[in-house]
Amino acid sequence: MTITVIGHFTIDELHSLSDPGTEGTPLETTGGIFYSLATLAALMSKNDVIHPVFGVGEKEYDSFIKSLEEFPNINSEGIFRLKGESNRVKVFLGSGQEPRIECSKRIAEPIPFSKIKPYLDADGILINMVSGSDLTLDTLDTIRMSVRDNRTPIHFDFHSLTLGIDKESRRFRRPLTEWRRWCFMVNSIQLSEEEALGLTAERFDEATLVNHLMPLMVNALAITRGNRGASIIVQKNKKLTRHDVAGFTQAPAVDTTGCGDVFGAAFLYASLKEKDFVRAAEVANQAGAIKATFTGTDGLRSLSTRMKESLPAA
């Protein structure tokens, strides 16, 4: 199996607001699209191939490429060197370690189609809008047209595409005027329930959004609900079915940063492997719940083992 992963790389600075005296000593970790990449590397076999396509700043590039050598199924040829710095995102964690405030210090230019084109011959494509500026709409259109004849599934995580940036670099929810064009002809779409409710200028409720979104040649819509699980709307032969997947029980959440990224990567992989969107949501829920039990990305290296160990006995 071959999966291409597209989205912005970031350096996350995690600050705790609930632990006085630590504000000046943030935990710095690779973030953004690396959550998706590390999840796929853990779940896929050594014989599978992952093609990430994104830029990394000059300061981090060499060490980051070196670090990928421990993942035999990641082909790093599509990772390119950015002039200047990598994206940096400051995440301020409040009580319970829920992300409360997110500030984007720097956002890279959109990934050009010329960088993506060599890696479109894949079994599936994961597009994660980590910054919201990862791709232009025109580039997405070109990707869709390029893979249409092969019917290559695209999983599209709206993520920060639904966020604006204020004068103090803080992210805020705002409607997306061209949301229909972003959704058109995408195999599966992922939105959190907050993203779904804030997506349209009309402020559609979920039921109305589903009725407007699914006719845009979308086969599955995943609406994630944190520890309450997810809802999956599946379209087959123009008939819609809804499946509410319960949250996966795990240890108390420590840090939910990256859980959506993990969900999306696991969802795409499982949907390609199982050919079943509902089963894919169950796998993705489990992966996301396990991610919430640790901070940063290091724990994702053992994700596959942790998922096997957390399954109930038969």
- Determine which helix (DSSP H) or strand (DSSP E) holds 16, and give its type and residue range: strand 9-16
The DSSP call for residue 74 is: B
Residue 94: the pLDDT is: 63
Query: Among 95, 90, 130, 125, which Cα is nearest to 110's?
Result: 130
Retrieve residue 299's tokens. 């724990």
Other CB atoms within 10 A of residue 179 CB: 20
Residue 23: the pLDDT is: 54
Query: Among 237, 306, 241, 307, which Cα is nearest to 277's?
Result: 241
Burial 154-164 (b: 16+ CB within 10 A, else e): bbbbbbbbbbe
Burial 286-302 (b: 16+ CB within 10 A, else e): bbbbbbbebbbbebbee
CA distances from residue 244 to 156, 184, 205, 256, 279 in whole angstroms, order as listed: 20, 24, 17, 21, 11
Query: Among 292, 216, 277, 215, which Cα is nearest to 247's?
Result: 292
Domain ranges of the chain: 2-307
pTM (predicted TM-score): 0.92
DSSP reduced 3-state for 208 = helix
Per-residue pLDDT of the chain (314 residues; tens, 9 = 90+): 999 999 999 988 877 765 555 455 777 888 889 999 999 999 999 999 999 999 999 999 999 999 999 999 999 999 999 988 888 887 776 654 455 567 776 788 999 999 999 999 999 999 999 999 999 999 999 999 999 999 999 999 999 999 888 877 788 889 999 999 999 999 999 999 999 999 999 999 999 999 999 999 999 999 999 989 999 999 999 899 999 999 987 778 888 889 999 999 999 999 999 999 999 999 999 999 999 998 888 899 999 999 998 876 44
Q: For residues 251 and 210, give the distance between their C-alpha atoms in angstroms, rounded to a whole number.
A: 33
DSSP reduced 3-state for 87 = strand
Residue 255: the pLDDT is: 82
Distance, CA of 300 to chain centre: 14
Q: For residues 24 and 206, give the distance between their C-alpha atoms in angstroms, rounded to a whole number.
A: 40
CATH of region 2-307: 3.40.1190.20
Residue 36: the pLDDT is: 97
Q: Could you tell me which residues come within 8 angstroms of residue 12 by beta carbon, excluding any fewer than 6 positions away? A: 28, 29, 30, 31, 32, 88, 89, 91, 257, 296
Q: For residues 284 and 280, give the distance between their C-alpha atoms in angstroms, rounded to a whole number.
A: 6
Q: For residues 188 and 101, give the distance between their C-alpha atoms in angstroms, rounded to a whole number.
A: 28
| Alpha helix positions (H), the chain | 33-43, 58-67, 113-116, 137-147, 179-183, 193-198, 206-213, 259-274, 277-291, 303-310
Distance, CA of 268 to chain centre: 10
Residue 27: the pLDDT is: 77
